[in-house]
Chain A
Amino acid sequence: MSGGKILIALLLVGTATAWGVGIGESPSAPREGAAAAAAQSYADINAPFDSKYHFVRIRYDAGGFGGFRRGRRGGTWSHDYPRAEYNFLQILKETTYLGTQAEGSNVLTFDDPELLKYPIAYIVEVGYWNPSDDEVRALGEYLLKGGFLIVDDTRDERGFELRNFAAHMERALPGLALVTLDHDHDIFDSFFRVDPLAVIPPYGPRDAQYYGIFEDNDPEKRMLVMFNFNNDIAEYWEYSDMGYFPIDLANEAYKLGVNYVVYAHTH
């Protein structure tokens, strides 16, 4: 996929904005402050199951860091929501043959049985993630059954994010550890050939690292979790059509996302 093609796709992404999606909103989401929002239920705005690929963002309680609230000023789980997924889904739909539900996305919790219909899930800011026992148990089962978790938006300077995530993953998948991925791992070549180091973290130069969790801790076996540490590719997705970032950088971030989804559909 050429950079030009991605750019064309980006122009299409602009249409998402044209639908009236504002920052921190979804096209059909009830406005913040409405009764439905207070109930913190996304069932009525989630795209219904149709066996296509749905972007599923994991909602979680971050304790003192925003709780379950939605929106940019809400819980940490919703960082870049929903513009990032909407833009990404347009790119995915335009660049691949993947049957994609690009008209909406889904927000679910780990312990929601509905999550089992969507074998790829996305979670951010896991430094603030504080899952309950039910969520951890459900996550473990989800991954062992065949689910795939993409973890994004973490920063090294906070010092605790990697440890927090690793600790909770140990609860979910006892004995399975984060494994540093080689930069020639198949996931970086599943659709685009991507140099992961070319995706410079949007918050300035950092030592971006990529981790995976594998069945039996064996990198030759199935990957359960893809962890972008010290990076935030969805930040690029969110603002790719607003000129905040160079197109080439946004392109690389999209490529990584496409690769992750294609990889998770085939491995």
Chain B
Amino acid sequence: MDRIFEFFFKYRPLVFEQGDFTFAAPGTVRMWLIAAGVVGAAAVASYTVARAKSTVFDRGIMAGLRVALFALLVFCLLQPALILSTVVPQQNFVGVLIDDSQSMLLLDESGTPRTSFLQDAFTPDESELLTALSDRFVLRFFRFSDVASRIDGPGDLTFDGTHTDLGGALDAAREELSGVPLSGLILITDGAHNSDRPLTESLVPLQAAGVPVFTVGLGEEVVAPDIEMGRVEIPRSVLEGSALVVDVVVTQIGLGRRTVPIIVEDDLKILAEETVDLGPDGEPVVARISLKLEGEGPRRIHFRIPPQSGERVERNNARTVQIEVRGEREKILYLEGEPRFELKFMRRAVADDENIQLVILQRTAEGKFLRLEISDSTELQFGFPASREELYHYRSLIIGSVEASFFAHDQLQMIADFVSERGGGLLMLGGRSAFAEGGWAGTPVEEVMPVVLGEPAGGEEGFFAEIVVKPTPAGLAHAAVQLGEDGEGVSERWDSLPPVTIVNPISEVRLGATALLTGTSPDLPDDQVVLAFQRYGRGKSIAMTVQDSWLWQMIPALEDQSHETFWKQVLRWLIDGVPESVEVVTDQEQVEPGESVRLIATVGDSTYIEVNDASVTARITSPSGLIEEVPVEWTVERDGEYVVEFRPSELGEYEVEITAERDGNTLGSDRTYLYTAASDEEYFGANRHTQTLRRIADETGGQFYTPEDVASLPDDIRITGAGVTLVEQMALWDMPFLFFLMLTLMGAEWGFRRLRGLV
């Protein structure tokens, strides 16, 4: 297209974009020409009054064509031109940034690697492009992948980089060349950008400095046939033995809508195998895989799809994720206002769960309590916790059939804060003293609940209805509601369970809350919300509105484990993600040796109020056992957040333990793991990212090229106006388009006359 444009208009579009239009004829000449043009045009227009066989319409058309021709002639005599700033040869620099990552070795359909362009374009004394650039500019070469550095020429490239950071490369080149007249940067890459840093951060300084970036996109727009495992969504830590539902996003191109297996394995064995029905070309589908992880400690889980016949890129069929399996015993406080079987059976369901300590505070009569599973005789000795320190000691709280008036107002506020500030989990159970029937409407805890409370139902007699429970669409996909070992047949399993009863009719969840189980009954006008949850502040709240889920234990067959499974999963879900007062995470799960990683610690006191004056130390143990202790500093930007950066140098698993102290007292400690390994990231999204490259060029005033049209690049850089430049005038009067236009106008008049029989 550009070539056709250039044929007609003498120059390429970029010249018109960059140049300012002007008439080169001297001022007086211009005035005479314009005057002559006006007089001439008037004379010609007088044709319209001449009479012959012609009509007024004929004369008008002919006069118009003739005036246009005359005007065009005057336009050319005015010497139209473009004024451009063109660089002074050999006085300006151009940075050539070449992608040195592994993806450059990928072969196209004909078996040619992307690197072949470099041979064609940058072989000294042979390549026209290199010669043209060298004639005009002083060239500086850079290689880049995750980091960028100067090289002497393309011969120094190794193509072994495992990440690509386009922004980092542009930053490095801009800074390196900041002291010299810079006409532009040439970015040669497939455009894959797998750094977390937004590109905009690098483009703004280039715009400010007026440095255009000319991007050369390599590779194919579509790599097919291929399957790509886009991402695996899995929590960073999980309690040992918890049911996990992992989402795996898979996309195919060119293979058709076939079914392929996904194999999940750790270093020792296959953990699960699931099939996924691939979607149409380019449309991702989500495969949902249920698994349980046993064995405490950090684990690496591999997800893979066996390579399909003819696949172009096989290494993007697999993902490895890291997860920490926690083995600690988590404390849940369960306050029950009346002796009832729900407590007994829930307690029994999790009795063999070594990771859950269900501490019971059972009110048996007025002012009379039974404590079970307490750690020592002082625990809960004065009943329900009266201070935040005591309550926040627990990770989650279950409130059974207890009326709201049992609590002091401060305690109710404390329960709400337990969820929103401490980040704990709150589970409220159905019962005659629960929800609206227990007077919870209007309390600070009502806001926390995921359900909408109405008026107390049933009057003095109370409400009672038998319901059949079934999962909602959201419930079908939620780990807490899966009853089978393999996550299959969820609906069928729920259908097989006997009815249960409610005394708290609830039909609505709060805005933002999600219902996972609902129930139906002829006694209810609307479906009963049975299990619902919402995020509230840092924590989550769950409502389970039935009062006798123990019927799921007593009535089904002896070997049926639905009740146990349900409560184990719900209680594990309840404590899942509940933060500690001191926590540490890394900003990346896996890095390569030498790659920088940030340790981010959040530090709070025993009431989870952020602490900014703590002394925080990270103790980093390398795979070979070397121990390094580094101080972690408060970021100032955010309360309670401390950060330090470090670069692991060994391959394998690093253990990071942080300890926070204040005034000589330990606030807490936490541990996390970091894995260092070579990355396959370059094989994901392996096609040419034209959109990214166009964006870089457009936002900096450059141009996007492919190997097919890159020949014009040297001329284009010359007229961008960056660097040391000269003003150059480029004549337009001799554009072939004007000549063709004149011929067209003359021909049109002649043709019209012939048509109308006027010659």
B340 on interface, CB distance cutoff 8 Å: yes
B339 surroundings in chain A (CB, below 8 A): 96-98, 261-262, 265-266
Query: Which of B360, B365, B550 makes the CB contact (< 8 A) with A146?
Result: B550
Take A51-B501, A51-B548, A119-B550 as given contacts and tell me if A266 and B365 are in contact as well, using a CB distance cutoff of 8 Å: no
**Cα–Cα, bound, A83→B614 (Å):** 69
B551 surroundings in chain A (CB, below 8 A): 116-117
Q: Are A264 and B344 within 8 A (Cβ)?
A: yes
Query: Which of B348, B370, B432 makes the CB contact (< 8 A) with A99?
Result: B432
What residue in chain B is nearest A118 (Cβ atoms)?
Answer: B554
Q: Are B365 and A141 within 8 A (Cβ)?
A: no
A222 surroundings in chain B (CB, below 8 A): 348, 351
A197 on interface, CB distance cutoff 8 Å: no
A144 on interface, CB distance cutoff 8 Å: yes
Q: Are B464 and A97 within 8 A (Cβ)?
A: no
Q: Are B364 and A97 within 8 A (Cβ)?
A: yes
The A-contacting residues of B in range 11-59, CB under 8 angstroms, are none
Q: Mark B358-393, 1 if CB is under 8 A from A, else 0.
A: 001011111010101000000000000000000000
**Cα–Cα, bound, A264→B550 (Å):** 14
Q: Are B338 and A98 within 8 A (Cβ)?
A: yes
The A-contacting residues of B in range 71-106, CB under 8 angstroms, are none
A1 surroundings in chain B (CB, below 8 A): 365
Query: Which of A95, A117, A146, A191 makes the CB contact (< 8 A) with B344?
Result: A146
B123 CB, nearest partner CB in chain A, Å = 81
**Cα–Cα, bound, A190→B371 (Å):** 10
**Cα–Cα, bound, A51→B550 (Å):** 10
The B-contacting residues of A in range 137-155, CB under 8 angstroms, are 141-142, 144-147
Q: Are A95 and B365 within 8 A (Cβ)?
A: yes
Take A95-B365, A265-B344 as given contacts and tell me if A146 and B338 are in contact as well, using a CB distance cutoff of 8 Å: no
A50 on interface, CB distance cutoff 8 Å: yes
What residue in chain B is nearest A115 (Cβ atoms)?
Answer: B554
A183 surroundings in chain B (CB, below 8 A): none
What residue in chain B is nearest A94 (Cβ atoms)?
Answer: B365
Chain A's interface size range is 20 to 34
B338 surroundings in chain A (CB, below 8 A): 97-99
**Cα–Cα, bound, A60→B364 (Å):** 33
A206 on interface, CB distance cutoff 8 Å: no
B362 surroundings in chain A (CB, below 8 A): 266
Q: Are B348 and A190 within 8 A (Cβ)?
A: no
Q: Mark A161-204, 1 if CB is under 8 A from B, else 0.
A: 00000000000000000000000000000110000000000000
Query: Which of B344, B363, B366, B550 makes the CB contact (< 8 A) with A267?
Result: B344
B345 surroundings in chain A (CB, below 8 A): 119, 146
B366 CB, nearest partner CB in chain A, Å = 7
Q: Are B344 and A266 within 8 A (Cβ)?
A: yes
Q: Are A191 and B340 within 8 A (Cβ)?
A: no
A191 surroundings in chain B (CB, below 8 A): 364-365, 368, 370
Q: Are A266 and B501 within 8 A (Cβ)?
A: no
A266 CB, nearest partner CB in chain B, Å = 6
The B-contacting residues of A in range 67-92, CB under 8 angstroms, are none
Q: Are A51 and B555 within 8 A (Cβ)?
A: no
Q: Are B554 and A266 within 8 A (Cβ)?
A: no
> Count the B residues whose beta carbon is within 8 Å of the partner chain — how many?
32
B602 surroundings in chain A (CB, below 8 A): none
> When A and B form their complex, what is the total count of cross-chain residue pairs whose Cβ atoms lie within 8 Å?
80
B553 on interface, CB distance cutoff 8 Å: yes
**Cα–Cα, bound, A51→B343 (Å):** 13
Q: Mark A94-126, 1 if CB is under 8 A from B, else 0.
A: 011111000000000000010011010000000
What residue in chain B is nearest A264 (Cβ atoms)?
Answer: B344
B545 on interface, CB distance cutoff 8 Å: no
A136 CB, nearest partner CB in chain B, Å = 14
B340 surroundings in chain A (CB, below 8 A): 53, 98-99, 265
What residue in chain A is nearest B362 (Cβ atoms)?
Answer: A266
B368 surroundings in chain A (CB, below 8 A): 191
B659 CB, nearest partner CB in chain A, Å = 37
A120 CB, nearest partner CB in chain B, Å = 9
B720 on interface, CB distance cutoff 8 Å: no
B347 surroundings in chain A (CB, below 8 A): 266-267
B547 surroundings in chain A (CB, below 8 A): 51
A117 surroundings in chain B (CB, below 8 A): 551, 554-555
**Cα–Cα, bound, A53→B364 (Å):** 14
What residue in chain A is nearest B502 (Cβ atoms)?
Answer: A51
A151 CB, nearest partner CB in chain B, Å = 19
Take A96-B364, A117-B551, A265-B343 as given contacts and tell me if A145 and B558 are in contact as well, using a CB distance cutoff of 8 Å: yes
Q: Are A266 and B550 within 8 A (Cβ)?
A: no
**Cα–Cα, bound, A117→B348 (Å):** 17
B750 on interface, CB distance cutoff 8 Å: no
**Cα–Cα, bound, A266→B372 (Å):** 9
B8 surroundings in chain A (CB, below 8 A): none
**Cα–Cα, bound, A140→B338 (Å):** 28
**Cα–Cα, bound, A261→B344 (Å):** 12
What residue in chain A is nearest B503 (Cβ atoms)?
Answer: A51
B407 on interface, CB distance cutoff 8 Å: no
B341 on interface, CB distance cutoff 8 Å: yes
The B-contacting residues of A in range 20-68, CB under 8 angstroms, are 50-51, 53
B64 CB, nearest partner CB in chain A, Å = 96
B557 CB, nearest partner CB in chain A, Å = 8
Query: Which of B372, B503, B553 makes the CB contact (< 8 A) with A145?
Result: B553
The A-contacting residues of B in range 664-684, CB under 8 angstroms, are none
What residue in chain B is nearest A222 (Cβ atoms)?
Answer: B348
**Cα–Cα, bound, A222→B553 (Å):** 15
B251 CB, nearest partner CB in chain A, Å = 47
**Cα–Cα, bound, A142→B364 (Å):** 25
A144 surroundings in chain B (CB, below 8 A): 558
B501 surroundings in chain A (CB, below 8 A): 50-51
**Cα–Cα, bound, A251→B464 (Å):** 34
Q: Are B548 and A146 within 8 A (Cβ)?
A: no
B648 on interface, CB distance cutoff 8 Å: no
**Cα–Cα, bound, A51→B503 (Å):** 10
What residue in chain A is nearest B339 (Cβ atoms)?
Answer: A265
**Cα–Cα, bound, A141→B553 (Å):** 11
**Cα–Cα, bound, A168→B16 (Å):** 103
Q: Mark A226-249, 1 if CB is under 8 A from B, else 0.
A: 000000000000000000000000
A51 surroundings in chain B (CB, below 8 A): 464, 501, 503, 547-548
What residue in chain B is nearest A265 (Cβ atoms)?
Answer: B339
**Cα–Cα, bound, A53→B432 (Å):** 13
Take A96-B364, A97-B363, A190-B370 as given contacts and tell me if A265 and B341 are in contact as well, using a CB distance cutoff of 8 Å: yes
B660 CB, nearest partner CB in chain A, Å = 39
B604 on interface, CB distance cutoff 8 Å: no
**Cα–Cα, bound, A144→B556 (Å):** 12
Q: Mark B327-366, 1 if CB is under 8 A from A, else 0.
A: 0000000000111110111011001000000001011111
What residue in chain A is nearest B432 (Cβ atoms)?
Answer: A99
What residue in chain A is nearest B341 (Cβ atoms)?
Answer: A119
What residue in chain A is nearest B558 (Cβ atoms)?
Answer: A141
Q: Are B370 and A262 within 8 A (Cβ)?
A: yes
B360 surroundings in chain A (CB, below 8 A): 266
Q: Which residue among A1, A113, A116, A146 has the maximum number of chain B CB atoms within 10 Å of its CB?
A: A146
What residue in chain B is nearest A140 (Cβ atoms)?
Answer: B558
10 new A-B contacts, CB < 8 A, other than A97-B365, A141-B558, are: A51-B503, A51-B547, A98-B339, A113-B555, A116-B554, A119-B345, A145-B558, A190-B370, A191-B368, A261-B339
> What are 18 contact pairs spanning A and B, CB under 8 A?
A50-B464, A50-B501, A51-B547, A97-B339, A98-B338, A98-B364, A99-B338, A117-B551, A119-B344, A191-B370, A222-B348, A262-B339, A265-B339, A266-B339, A266-B344, A266-B360, A266-B372, A267-B347
- List chain A positions with a Cβ less than 8 A from chain B: 1, 50-51, 53, 95-99, 113, 116-117, 119, 141-142, 144-147, 190-191, 222, 261-262, 264-267
* 4 closest A-B pairs by CB: A265-B339, A97-B338, A116-B554, A51-B548
- List chain B positions with a Cβ less than 8 A from chain A: 337-341, 343-345, 347-348, 351, 360, 362-366, 368, 370, 372, 432, 464, 501, 503, 547-548, 550-551, 553-555, 558
